[in-house]
Structure 1
Amino acid sequence: MWLSQKRPERWESPAQVGVVTLEGDPAAVYQSGERRDLPVFAPGGYCWRPALGAEVLVLKTGAQGEGACVAGTRITANVAPGEVRIQSEGGASITLGADGTIRLEGDVLVNGVPLPGTGGGEIWS
């Protein structure tokens, strides 16, 4: 084979953004085409399943990039520098403020009992 006939290798980024087409774990994500059965990863102790239509980061794995996994989603919450927020699709959230505060949003239940003043309707006795 002549050098002029050798096809150049196509380089692809090891990380690309895609849109979830089948939610859950494993997930399916559309990038330049749909990839199915992608495992979903999250930080230790944190459970997460990407929702349909979410924009996610897909990382290539394996020696030749033959595998892939979903590693996270684009930040949509307004988070100040130094803050950490865990937020659900339904709007409930826990925010750890850079100033040491903890903010809870949504109905708060402690062992199944609503915490007073959080919209649960019951009062502790």
Structure 2
Amino acid sequence: MDWEKADRNLGEYLGTLVADYACKKKLMFGAAVYFVNDNMWTGVKGKIVFLRLSENDRLTIQTESDEIRPFEPAPGRFMKEYVEVPESKLADDAFARKWLDISYSYVKSLPPKVKKEKKAPSKSKKQN
């Protein structure tokens, strides 16, 4: 499978949209991804922005635009709470800000993600 590089201009645009939110930036999918309370919120993959939304909000945004669909970071692998927002929809600043606000509120309401403890390396060699 060929990996589609993240659109740099789209990543920069998303960066300006999220600048006023309390979030942390990390690199994933070859681009900036933003987290709230260590929960993934939004980011860029290829030529789309993905957003995390509640079930009701996912249904609502998909009724507003037939261009919105479940986020599929790899063929056949969908991320349950995320939708893909194509670049064409982000050109509408009011649409982008509205859904970033809704998504941010949802992710902020989630409990902070607890990092899992790292397991000690297993001993696979037999001792004599």
* TM-score category (smaller protein): under 0.3
Q: So what's the TM-score if we normalise by structure 2?
A: 0.24
Report which structure shows greater RCO (CA 8 Å, sep ≥6). Answer: 2
More helix by share: 2
More strand by share: 1
Q: So what's the TM-score if we normalise by structure 1?
A: 0.25
Larger radius of gyration: 1
